Structure 1
Amino acid sequence: PFEPYDFTDDVSIDLIEYANLPISKIKIYDRSDEPVIKKEKWFIHLYNYVRKFDKGLIFAGPENYNLPFHQNCLKLSNLLGYPLLADGASQLRFGQSNDENLITNYDAVLRSKNFSEEHNPDIIIQFGRTATSKALEEYFEQCNSLRFMINEFGDWFDPSNKANEVYACKPFLFCEKMNEQLEKQNFIRKTSRWLNEFKDADKIANNLRVKIIEHAKFPNEGRVIKELIDALPDDLNLMLSNSMPVRDFDYFAPRTDKKISVFNNRGASGIDGITSTALGILADSGKPTLLLTGDMAFYYDLNGLLAAKKYSLPLVIVLINNDGGGIFEVLPISAYGKVFKEYFIASHHLDFAPFVKGYGGNYKLIQSWEDFSSSIKKAFKQKKFTVLELKTDAKKSLKNRRLYWAKTAEALNGC
């Protein structure tokens, strides 16, 4: 019961064989600062593949991409007629919200068994790091597709180990050169049924998200995302904590014309130094910065607030407090009553207000959605850090997420 429902104790024979290969047999790809040129075999192979296959996907994973990547990746999607799935931490949902090929509700869409089984791409091109969405990772694992990963240092961002190759190349440069090559050959794929079905499914999921998540009663963890984005000023940094904040952001962050630079810490030690990281981002950039964090991560790095006090850093912190490890509600162990509450939820019952005031910050307990919106706007005018706390119910928020996913699957199954 400690593991997810879809755990496995099996280890792929292919993975074992690969792990036993001598270093001389493992491919090490071109350095990221070497330009992509048409003579490179891997680039030619990919060019031929994307021209050949009508059913493809482009996935932009978490990364702090530059503006040329945004422009060239969207252009590549349009030339190839491939849906572009944009992770919430990819930056692509922000600053350009009018491209119809941009798919943002894919997590809910791919939880539909019918849709995911009926839409098996021939090729997947992945930029950036590992997907935030578990549903997307499971979809990739189940697909019988060619899959190529492209990131600056050639890192293997594939937990399932089913990708074919990884290439060390700056993503914006790859897109730029691929676009040039396609345009030179006057190649542009006509809008296909494949692309339209992804776009239609995204619209269905989006409408249900608006109806179920964005109209949820206060305080609901999923609705926090839309309310937050609506209240944010333009051109700012947004730091996402590990656990549920980064996941809810990926599930529910809508497109917007606002320029938002998204940062996040994830991994085995993703909880470490969340507040300190946000303060560092603010200190380095000098731009307005907001941290969306949970109570456990905030508690874990309370002493990081000393830097905010010492250096007068006006960080805005939105603290979602569900009194413990709410993310564990999704695990089978949640059915084990007292043991689950004591050792996994581990409720702390902390009053964070005295800690915040002790470090010289502003504190406010949010009482309504209207209060949340106005408090965010006021917080950015302060000269010292501000903590805006929302006390939520993890079980009720999870129930609302599951309702949204179920209704989306039901709607897609009826198409």
Structure 2
Amino acid sequence: MEGQGSINGRWSAALVAGLAAAGVTHVVISPGSRSTPLSLACLRSPGLVCRVLLDERVAAFYALGLARATGRPVALICTSGSAVANWHPAVVEADMSRVPLILLSSDRPPELQDCGANQTLAQTGLFGTGLRAMIALPPAESQAGWLANAAARAVSQSLWPLPGPVQINVPFREPLLAPDAASDLPQAAGRVAPRVILPRQEAPADMVEDLARQFAGRTGVIVAGAEPLPAVPIVTLAGRLGWPVLADPLSGLRFGGHDLSPVLARSDIFLRGTLPSPDWVLRFGAFPVSKPLALWLAAPGARQVVVSGDSRWPDPQRSSDMMVHADPAAFADSLTRMAGEASPASWLRRFRLAEDAAGRLADEALVPEGRVVRQVIDALPDDSLLFIGNSMPVRDLDDFSGTGPQRLTILCNRGVSGIDGNLSSFFGAAASGRFTAAVALVGDLTFLHDLGGLAAGRGLNATVCVTDNGGGAIFGHLPQAVLPEFEAGWLTPQNADLGAAAAVWGHRYGKVAPSGVGPALTEALAAPGVSVLHISVDREESLAAHRALAARAAVIGTRD
């Protein structure tokens, strides 16, 4: 009779083989006892790349970054109890930013549930509505052939119809290992996982044709939102319609070898001025970062069409006249083929003049973070990764990035816009092997919030640029700034030793003035390992310069 330890081993081998056959190539493991059969199966699977990270929260954000960079599901493994709960912040981000994860949560068997057993909680309901599916497996048993199908289904559900996290809860009885586990390699049993083919959602041709008729000769703008979008189809459509593209910094349209002539990167500046309302707004993807753009879109007048590539409803202002659930590239290509007369040339020219005026203001502004953004971008070679932190960094990127021919991938945890786990996500993305260079630009509180994530950088070549403005400087732009409790309750300066933190994991560290970021970054990118560049920014100087830029921007468009 086969012992429980052997059953656990073969059960785990079958599940892991099914995930690998369905396309999973990377697994992030946090060590623990109950998860031993799963971890061992992965570590002994030659087709899987395994990374072991002690902290489950770090591991989950690392997996998130890796999955975001590759577009493929990454598996996570941890033991039972609070270890699973530590995944939750990253699961929330994966849910809201539609990143595929496979959560392999090890568990106690049913007889140890709800009876005071150690390290046991109700894991199957832990993530609530944030999952695409929750597969509760029975305790490991000898009949494991059906697990390949369950694994393929989990991978499919993590990718379609709405990408996101899928949990597979895996209870194990003791003994967890077979007596000969040190030498025996359990073989996966049963059939091979089915191949999964995902659809390409296209809008009905008659609807696209009707929309093309309505767009013909009318004024409009295309808004490329805060998620990676297909650049060539969208800019080709813009050229056909004679419309500008207001490109969010996370859209992927600001940089690359595609036609940049209709792409505008300064709308957060020039829309503080006076620009005419269009007849139509065609918006692709997630809602943009920029508040001035959001206010402009909320103004009455223009009819709005939103294109969502999945089942989510990205319309927080409830201003859409039409919601199109279709593949953005397919929709743009179809609309380009059917498009009629373009807008008058004067329409695009007016927006280009506003873009140029905003660019001059940005160049003349003495915003220290703006100088940092430009130097970082200028130092990046083709096919680089730029991971941008939330709060002020993503907003400064919006204002000061401009556009350019470099092939850059810009990523951000914008699903719920948290400052947690940013370093871990950055290192996960850098570990994908897709990039010639990897740079993160984050604030001081974002850096300190994820100190444990520095462990995930070991073995990688990457640079973290930290703009240190002495705490939560973004609140200086908000009404809380006038409160007597502002510094204690919102600014929260930490006065921490960033160099000591970097040294814990053997990373290089250097202090850099905002004017010297370019040479320091070039040097860091040429060196192996992880470098932390600590860029001190005068908070009051920065706040005054941001306000001066906004005030000067208010007159854009009034003299056209």
TM-score (normalised: structure 1): 0.83
1:392 corresponds to: 537
1:315 is the counterpart of 2:462: yes
CA 1:297 to 1:368, structure 2 compared with 1: closer, same or farther past 3 Å? closer
Amino acid paired to 1:380 = L
Shift of 1:393: 2.1
Equivalent residue letter for 1:137 = A
Specify the alignment match of 2:520 in structure 1: 375
CA contact (8 A) 1:97 1:255 kept: no
Q: Which of 352, 355, 380 matches 2:501?
A: 355
Partner in structure 2 of residue 47 of structure 1: 212
Is 2:224 the counterpart of 1:60? yes
Letter in 2 for 1:207: R
Instruction: Give the residue type in structure 2 aligned to 1:33.
Output: P
Aligned-pair CA distance for 1:94: 0.5
CA spacing shift, 1:368–1:241, aligned 2, 3 Å: closer
SS in 2 for 1:375: helix
CA distance in 2, matches of 1:397, 1:143: 34
Q: Is the aligned partner of 1:265 residue 2:413? A: yes
Query: How far off its partner does 1:285 sit?
Result: 3.0
| CA distance in 2 between partners of 1:363 and 1:261 (Å) | 25
Q: How does 1:169-188 map to 2 (within 5 A)?
A: 169-182=326-339, 187-188=340-341
Q: Helix, strand or coil: the match of 2:365?
A: helix
* 1:309-343 CA distance string (max 9 Å, x none): 2xx11221000111211100111120123x00110
Q: Which residue of 2 aligns with 1:403?
A: 548
* 1:266-305 pair list within 5 angstroms: 266-268=414-416, 270-287=418-435, 288-305=437-454
**RMSD (Å) for aligned C-alpha atoms:** 2.0
Q: Greater Rg, structure 1 or structure 2?
A: 2
1:334 to 1:56, Cα distance in 2 relative to 1, 3 A: same
Aligned residue number for residue 95 of structure 1: 256
Aligned equivalents of 1:359, 1:34: Cα separation in 2: 44
Contact conserved, 1:86 with 1:103, CA < 8 A, in 2? yes
Partner-residue secondary structure (3-state), 1:194: helix
Residue aligning to 1:21:
none
Alignment of 1:145-160 (within 5 A): 145-160=302-317
Q: Which residue of 1 aligns with 2:478?
A: 331
1:345 corresponds in structure 2 to: 491
Aligned partners of 1:154 and 1:167 also within 8 Å = no
Q: Secondary structure at the match of 1:120?
A: coil
Matched with 1:224 is 372
1:306 aligns with 2:472: no
Q: Secondary structure at the match of 1:357?
A: helix
- TM-score, length-normalised on structure 2? 0.62
Q: Distance in 1 between matches of 2:258 and 2:552?
A: 25
- What is the DSSP-based 3-state SS (H/G/I as helix, E as strand, rest coil) of the residue aligned with 2:557? helix
SS at match of 1:71: helix
Contact 1:289 1:316 in 2 (8 A): yes
Amino acid at match of 2:365: I
Contact 2:223-2:284 within 8 A present in 1 as well: yes
SS of residue paired to 1:316 = strand
Letter of the structure 2 residue corresponding to residue 45 of structure 1: D
Q: Residue 81 of structure 1 corresponds to which residue in structure 2?
A: 242
CA contact (8 A) 1:231 1:376 kept: yes
Distance 2:370 2:415 in 1: 22
Amino acid at match of 1:198: F
Which has the larger displacement, 264-273 or 103-112? 264-273
C-alpha contact (below 8 Å) 2:442/2:464 kept by paired residues: yes
**Structure 2 CA distance, aligned partners of 1:46 and 1:285?**
41
- Any conservation in 2 of the 1:150–1:166 contact (CA below 8 Å)? yes
Q: 1:36·1:43 contact (CA, 8 Å) conserved in 2?
A: no
Q: Quote how far apart the aligned CAs of 1:411 are.
A: 4.5
Kept in 2, the 8 Å contact 1:155–1:166? The answer is no
Distance 1:190 1:325, change over 3 A: closer
Q: Paired residue for 1:201, among 323, 339, 354?
A: 354
Q: Determine helix, strand or coil for the equivalent of 1:36.
A: coil
1:235 counterpart letter in structure 2: D
1:46 and 1:368 map into 2 onto residues whose CA distance is 48
How much has 1:296 moved relative to structure 2?
0.8
Name the CA distance, whole Å, in 2 between partners of 1:190 and 1:300. Answer: 48
Q: Are the aligned partners of 1:154 and 1:169 in contact in 2 as well (CA < 8 Å)?
A: no
**Retained in 1: the 8 A contact 2:227–2:251?**
yes
| Aligned 8 A contact 2:281 2:303 in 1 | yes
Q: Deviations over 1:156-177 (max 9, x none)?
A: 2222111123222111111111
SS of the aligned residue for 1:398 comes to: helix
Other structure's SS at 1:176 match: helix
- Unpaired segments of 5 or more residues in structure 1? 1-29
- Give distance in 1, aligned partners of 2:268 and 2:371: 16
Amino acid at match of 1:295: D
Question: Across the two proteins, how many residue pairs are aligned to each other?
Answer: 364
> What letter corresponds to residue 269 of structure 2 in structure 1?
A
Q: 1:75 to 1:267 in 2, by over 3 A?
A: closer
For the Cα contact (< 8 Å) 1:61–1:129, is it kept in 2?
A: yes
Distance between the aligned counterparts of 1:331 and 1:78, measured in 2?
38
Measured after TM superposition, the shift of residue 154 of structure 1 is 3.6
3-state secondary structure, aligned to 2:441 = strand
Q: Distance in 2 between matches of 1:375 and 1:269?
A: 29
Which of 347, 355, 365 in structure 2 is aligned with 1:212? Answer: 365
Q: Which has the higher helix share?
A: 1
CA drift of 1:246 comes to 0.6
Q: Could you tell me which residue of structure 2 aligns to residue 241 of structure 1? A: 389
Query: Structure 2 regions of 5+ residues with no counterpart?
Result: 1-160, 163-197
Q: CA deviation at 1:267?
A: 4.5
